[in-house]
Amino acid sequence: MLRLALAREAARLMIEHGHEDYGLAKRKAAERLGVTDRAVLPKNTEIEEALAEHQRLFVPETHATELSEMRRAALAAMRLLTDFNPRLVGPLLSGTATAHNDITLHLFADTPEIVALQLLDSGIPHELAERRVKVQRDEFAAYPSVRFLAGLHQVEATIFPLDGIRQAPLGPVDGRPMRRATPAEVEELISAC
């Protein structure tokens, strides 16, 4: 029961305060509920379930509208970057995204500069950054990324080498290879709403 309460509080914090880090949300939830025993902290998958439950119970219409709007912005960004085999990943794909989340894409290119040139040629202001992703259980790797706006939504697109399309990094929720969606699959998600 305490574990469920912690998961729900962590989900609430993520939704209301824009926390994207599951570990931070767990620690803050434990602090708020006066829990010091780390053994009762919920798993990330339990928090994700609590996120979905909270959105379904408390903000179903708002959440559906936000998801649809963000997925349309993601699809527009993916179409712009079609040369780089874009894939949608993360909370927007799983359906637990909030207005605080970025649109997260994976791109595949020989160099990050070619992606930046595409954005520059399209007149889209952007910034180059770096994103750490989990590639094995206890191993992280840094990849270049670009950040830009698609409509009113922030996009973070991590740029992997061309052969990176074959092996997805591990997800922060369940530690399994991240699910990736093509533009056609994103269109299907939009149509289903």
| Interval 4-29 mean pLDDT | 89
**Nearest to residue 8, comparing CAs of 29, 35, 32, 39?**
29
Domain count, the chain: 2
The pair phi, psi for residue 117, each rounded to 5°, is -65, -40
Same domain for 46 and 78, yes or no, is no
Residue 55 pLDDT greater than 90, yes or no: no
Q: Are strands 87-89 and 139-150 parallel, antiparallel or unpaired?
A: unpaired
Residues 6+ apart with CB under 8 A from 92: 67, 70, 71, 74, 101, 103, 104
The CATH number of the domain holding residue 152 is 3.30.460.10
Report H helices in 87-177.
91-94, 112-121
Same domain for 145 and 188, yes or no, is yes
Domain containing residue 147: 61-192
Is 140 or 57 the better-scoring residue by pLDDT? 140
Same domain for 96 and 167, yes or no, is yes
Same domain for 21 and 65, yes or no, is no
Same domain for 154 and 105, yes or no, is yes
Name the least confident of 22-31, 57-66, 153-162, 178-187: 57-66
pLDDT in tens, 68-110: 999 999 999 999 999 999 999 999 999 999 888 999 999 999 9
How long is the chain?
Answer: 193
Whole-number mean pLDDT of the chain? 93
Report H helices in the chain.
2-17, 22-32, 44-58, 60-80, 91-94, 112-121, 183-192
| Residue where one domain finishes, among candidates 33, 58, 83 | 58
CA 193 and chain centroid, separation? 19
Same domain for 7 and 67, yes or no, is no
* Confidence at residue 16, expressed as pLDDT on a 0 to 100 scale: 86
Residues 193 and 189: their CA atoms lie apart, in Å, by 7
Same domain for 52 and 20, yes or no, is yes
| Interval 150-174 mean pLDDT | 94
Same domain for 38 and 110, yes or no, is no
Same domain for 128 and 92, yes or no, is yes
DSSP structure class, residue 111: -
Residues 6+ apart with CB under 8 A from 63: 55, 56, 98
Same domain for 113 and 134, yes or no, is yes
Same domain for 179 and 96, yes or no, is yes
Residue 54 pLDDT greater than 80, yes or no: yes
**Nearest to residue 14, comparing CAs of 59, 51, 41?**
51
Residues 20 and 24: their CA atoms lie apart, in Å, by 8
